[in-house]
């Protein structure tokens, strides 16, 4: 595996680990019955995140298109 790939994977893992810790914390809180966020709020937050991802993905596709003017 070349150094650039190792670096990129390391960077990605470093970004993913905090998300995993956040997940664990939330599940722990929910399983203990404490600090439980209402279902509608969780789903609304999830939907908002998915929408943001979709919007950024669409923008990135357009920006990387050969027909798009250079930035």
Partner 1 sequence: MKRIALATGVFLITLCMVGCPMNSTQQQQAANASLQAATVLKTAQAGEITAFQNGLIPAADHQFIELQFGNVAQIGKTADSCIASASAQAGVLTCLNSAITSIDTMNTNGGLELKSTQAKTDYALAMTAIRTVFASIEATMGGTPPAAPAPAN
Kindly list the residues in this chain that would bind partner 1 in the complex (CB under 8 A): 4-5, 8-9, 11-13, 15-16, 18-20, 22-23, 26-27, 30-31, 33, 36-37, 39, 42-43, 45-47, 49-54, 56-58, 60-61, 64-66
Nearer to partner 1, 4 or 69 (CB): 4
Min CB(69)–partner 1 separation in Å = 14
3-state secondary structure of 36: coil
Where do runs of H (alpha helix) occur along the chain? Answer: 3-31, 39-64
Asked if 54 and 46 count as a contact pair (C-beta separation under 8 A), the reply is no
């Amino acid at each position: 595996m070349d150094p650039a790939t190792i670096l990129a994977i390391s960077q990605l893992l470093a970004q993913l680990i905090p998300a995993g810790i956040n997940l664990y914390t939330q599940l722990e809180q929910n399983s203990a019955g404490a600090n439980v966020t209402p279902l509608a709020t969780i789903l609304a937050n999830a939907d908002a995140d998915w929408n943001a991802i979709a919007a950024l993905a669409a923008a990135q596709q357009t920006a990387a298109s050969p027909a798009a003017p250079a930035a």
